[in-house]
Chain A
Amino acid sequence: DVKVTQSSRYLVKRTGEKVFLECVQDMDHENMFWYRQDPGLGLRLIYFSYDVKMKEKGDIPEGYSVSREKKERFSLILESASTNQTSMYLCASSYSPYNEQFFGPGTRLTVL
């Protein structure tokens, strides 16, 4: 079975802090995705990566950056956390962009 893990289930940070969210998948998937999920807005794509060191902006990339140094690991970085980045963050991976995506358990981030 595909396993996608995220570094934390719950995280509390202060405004202005640099925040790292890590995602690791164990199925040699080429494609990895970062989403945020907010009530009433559903899932929105922040960034995705289709290969090591390759990344593309999603629908809401502002305030975020990503890093993919190794195939299995995709990191989401909040350079200077703000309260409007309080959200549930979900990572996903897939064999190709056109296959089903496998999701991690999510990280609930609170920025105070």
Chain B
Amino acid sequence: KNEVEQSPQNLTAQEGEFITINCSYSVGISALHWLQQHPGGGIVSLFMLSSGKKKHGRLIATINIQEKHSSLHITASHPRDSAVYICAVRGLIQGAQKLVFGQGTRLTINP
């Protein structure tokens, strides 16, 4: 079983829909990252959070440390949001300088 599990693996929605991508992890963590990868390869960091909730534009990330779960929400989705979204966690002590990545969720927003 992977340390970081994302769901769903693939998601297709219509423009304007509210999107939720989930990330569950099995180890204690010091931080969780959400990343975005557009076709062509480049990866951009969206959020780094260790508790609560963060918001940037139409993107919202939440984390529940007790339940070892995080969600990424996109409001009023747009075709330009089509990308792979990747969750990554940083351990507490051993290996804390390394990130462990989920396999990614491929999001497609149709106009």
Contact = CB atoms under 8 A, between A and B. Distances in A.
Contacts of A31: 97
Contacts of B40: 105-106
B99 A90 contact: no
Interface in A27-55: 31, 40-45, 48, 50
Interface stretch (A16-24, A64-72, A73-81, A93-101): A93-101
Interface residues of A, number: 26
Contact of A100 (B48, B96, B101, B104): B48
Contacts of A48: 97-98
A61 interface: no
Contacts, number: 55
Nearest to A97: B97
A8 to B, nearest CB: 12
Interface in A84-104: 88, 90, 92, 97-104
Nearest to A90: B43
Contact of B104 (A42, A59, A98, A99): A42
11 contacts: A31-B97, A40-B103, A42-B86, A58-B98, A59-B98, A98-B30, A100-B33, A101-B99, A103-B43, A104-B42, A105-B41
